[in-house]
Amino acid sequence: MDPATPAARLRPVRGPALGAVVMLAVYALVRVVGSGLSLWRVTIIERMLVDSGSVRSLEVEVTDTLLLGAAYVKVAVFALAAVAFLAWLHRVRGNAEVLAPGPHRRARPWVILGWFVPVVNLWFPKQVVEDVWNASKPGAPVPSLPLARRPVLVWIWWNAFVISFWVLDVVAALLWHSDLESLRELARVDVIGSLSWAGTGALAAYVVMKITRDQEARLDALPQFTVNLPIN
């Protein structure tokens, strides 16, 4: 391989990383605010269960409106955060293929498709991020990505994501009924889920920053490989 090839093919990752971290932070903030609104709904429902006359209809309407608005914002920000994260992941995966001497466990199309194909989306994205993490580490290149040691932080982040997305959201869907007791429990689950999502977002942001720093360090170590081509 031409020694100039690695430096020429490594692409900067700070811009996509910044976009991903900002959107993850915004989403975490939205979920924290949403947890506060859900907690407010819990207190209102508990008051209604004790004495329905103690709660004004305006208070119920205001909380319903705020929660509905928060739900729309939550979906929109989640979509933007997902796009930003996947754009960053696609960029760092391309760099990781240059930095790693051996094949990754999942082919390039699975970097995106792995999040959407049922069943395999429970572990393919985690494997993609693990291989990018190991390929990006400073020092000697990892001889075999499939056999490399799995990063603990990625394992923690992925399990937090699975719990937040699959377990808590499914529980919330199963609790959906129109009676006050069910609505109260749904609001409580939403509080837990929102705080869990906020933590998951923080872990994802750290994974983004760690891999980005490692790749930037590798990029900084390659200036001697750049060549000056003659200008015709």
Half-sphere exposure of 39 (CA within 13 A, CB side): 11
pLDDT score of 133 more than 50? yes
Per-residue tokens: 28:
């975490």
Looking at residue 54, what is its pLDDT? 84
**Nearest alpha-carbon partner for 204 in 23, 61, 67, 13:** 23
Query: In 24-36, which positions are buried (b, 16+ CB within 10 angstroms) versus exposed (e)?
Result: bebbbebbebbbe
- What's the rounded Cα separation, in Å, for the pair 143 and 80? 36
Looking at residue 220, what is its pLDDT? 76
- Give the distance, in angstroms, between the CA of residue 2 and the centroid of all CA atoms in the same chain: 36
Looking at residue 36, what is its pLDDT? 94
Per-residue tokens: 43:
């207190």
Per-residue tokens: 98:
């240059």
Q: Are 13 and 85 in contact (CB under 8 A)?
A: no
Torsion of CA 97, 102, 108, 114, to 10 degrees: -120
75-126 residue pLDDT tens: 999 999 999 999 999 999 999 999 987 899 999 999 999 999 999 999 999 9
2-47 residue pLDDT tens: 444 455 578 999 999 999 999 999 999 999 999 999 999 999 999 9
Position 222 confidence tier, pLDDT thresholds 50, 70, 90: low
Q: Are 132 and 173 in contact (CB under 8 A)?
A: no
